[in-house]
Structure 1
């Protein structure tokens, strides 16, 4: 199975426990180290499913009590203690805009089977990696480039410009990687993919406005 082939390249990101799930139009998988299995960290290595929703997340969320109160105010129940439970609850409350309400370090991939829609996001600092490639009508995503390259539809052609920039230490804001087909999901953005629609990238975080009232000396 393709998800297991991809996970096999990610032992550095989790070698002790793993899980994969197949829906009608999607496959999700994840892996964990032993120390991540506690609820205070990532929790069990399983694709979290609630009805038509499924999510995999690499996340540490802050201000959980405030988030829980905001969810309760919208009549949304949080069905567990993991960050993934909070992400699913936030999606039930605010849809694809849910990442705007999350504080912390996170990258997640969420599937809404009822709407046939994939929603993925990274925190504003880019603390957790997430990459994507589109090949033959298939959207491939992972937290490691090696996993995407393990997918049989992903072409392995090198991006020589990106390689040269990396080799010379040039600072670039490009979303390109050293492979032509693979891009970084930018920090502070949500990626949305609906059936028979182009992939959308929507900024969910903006720097706070600075009001500088200082007088000139």
Structure 2
């Protein structure tokens, strides 16, 4: 299994990124954010775009055998898929580091999510508006765990939808931010994370921080 992304020539998002930037010895506070969503919505791409290091990924080539397992409707051109999780890193300052985890989107890997959400500061739900129903499970699990999240609609060049229509389709609480992004763009991916941090700050300032999960995660 390949566990590293290829060099900058094969990874345009790596251009200008320090090659395997060393983690400062003073860093002692790790913050965790999870990027979650349906199959093929761009989670790996977003982590790859914004990470300061060449991210760890667990992508495998899709084969004909998987056609009977994974629903590839709307993502027929997809040739590889995450089978565990993606991992990236952003250094915030000398003492604080942000760790990014991209969750696998296929239903057969959903059992990993409860463990992956453990200790998470917050989450990004990435949505393809052509396949909104694929994002319902992610939102349901985050709400179950009491994990704060925002929703980011990834731009696949599809038809434009009004924000009110997307909110209604996802049954979003009014206080959950809904933004648009291009997961391929480093600046856009960074803005998604900034939006999440600002949402978390607002929640904590209002005293409406993360709620306790409805029950313990399944072992």
| TM-score greater than 0.5 by the shorter chain | no
More helix by share: 2
- TM (norm. structure 2) is 0.28
Larger Rg: 1
- TM (norm. structure 1) is 0.28
More strand by share: 1
